[in-house]
Amino acid sequence: MNPRPHYLRGFNFPGSRRVTERVIRTRLNPLQRLWRLVRIAWLRWQISTTEQWLAQLQRDGIINSLSVREFHKQVEAMRVELAIVEQS
DSSP string covering the chain, please?
--S-HHHHTTSS-TTHHHHHHHHHHHHS-HHHHHHHHHHHHHHHHHHHHHHHHHHHHHHTT--S-HHHHHHHHHHHHHHHHHHHHHH-
Q: Please write the tens of the pLDDT for every residue from 7-57.
A: 444 455 555 555 555 555 566 678 888 899 999 999 999 999 999 999 998
The average pLDDT across 74-79 equals 92
Please report, for the chain, the start and end positions of each structural domain, with discontinuous segments joined by +: 5-87
When pLDDT is cut at 50, 70 and 90, the band that residue 68 belongs to is confident
The whole-number average pLDDT for the span 72-81 is 92
